């Protein structure tokens, strides 16, 4: 990503409870599963701080990919791929289909899973898919104010490390498949 010096963003959506959400007893620290975790000494509740799952999709047009500029925090004004959090009751694939329609007004077909970005510094696990636009023309809708197709190596300022990883993963795979032809 030429010229992109990303600023790290660490999600702050993991909150340690101070009181048990089941019985209101103050939580204590206890070792559970080799980790120190907030635990209720009264009812046995254990707080597990697990990363939420998000899903994003690469929608190529030739050697460029569809990106949109965010109008919400975190990282307002920076660019990312269509995507967002997976809602309860939906699969990651269903989430990217929904998010593409909500954010940029296109119907998409999910073609394959490219990978999973997880671990530090992010507190979110991101499933990366590749797909195709099967209906509509991209336009700025919910949570974005601009859309465009960009080559991965000349992308505008990028919002998240997972987006940089996604673009690099897709570009590397394309380079590898073009050598095999």
Which range among 40-44, 113-117, 120-124 shows the weakest confidence by mean pLDDT? 120-124
Domain with CATH 3.90.79.10 in the chain: 53-180
Averaged pLDDT of the chain = 90
pLDDT of residue 30: 94
pLDDT of residue 181: 42
The answer, yes or no, to whether residue 2 has pLDDT greater than 50, is: no
Superfamily of domain 53-180: Nucleoside Triphosphate Pyrophosphohydrolase (3.90.79.10)
The answer, yes or no, to whether residue 169 has pLDDT greater than 70, is: yes
**Could you read off the pLDDT of 59-69 as tens digits, one per residue?**
999 999 999 99
The answer, yes or no, to whether residue 159 has pLDDT greater than 60, is: yes
Q: pTM, whole model, 2 decimals?
A: 0.83
Residue, of 74 and 57, whose pLDDT is higher: 57
The three-state secondary structure class of 103 is: helix
The answer, yes or no, to whether residue 31 has pLDDT greater than 70, is: yes
pLDDT of residue 121: 66
* Beta strands in the chain, from DSSP E residues, in sequence order: 28-32, 35-39, 53-58, 60-61, 64-70, 79-80, 83-85, 107-117, 125-135, 144-150
């Amino acid at each position: 990503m030429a010229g992109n010096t990303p600023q790290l963003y660490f999600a702050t959506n993991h909150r340690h409870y101070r009181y048990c959400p089941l019985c209101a007893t103050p939580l204590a620290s206890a070792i559970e599963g080799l980790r120190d975790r907030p635990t209720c000494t009264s009812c046995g509740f254990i707080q597990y701080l697990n990363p939420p799952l998000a899903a994003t999709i690469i929608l190529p047009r030739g050697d460029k990919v569809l990106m949109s500029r965010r109008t919400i925090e975190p990282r307002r004004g920076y660019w990312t791929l269509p995507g967002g959090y997976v809602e309860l009751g939906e699969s990651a694939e269903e989430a990217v289909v929904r998010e593409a329609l909500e954010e940029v007004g296109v119907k998409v077909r999910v073609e394959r899973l490219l990978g999973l970005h997880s671990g530090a510094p992010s507190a979110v696990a991101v499933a990366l898919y590749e797909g195709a636009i099967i209906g509509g023309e991209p336009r700025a809708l919910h949570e974005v104010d601009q859309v465009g197709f960009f080559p991965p190596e000349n992308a505008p300022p990028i919002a998240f490390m997972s987006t940089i990883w996604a673009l690099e993963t897709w570009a590397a795979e394309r380079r590898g498949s073009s050598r095999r032809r």
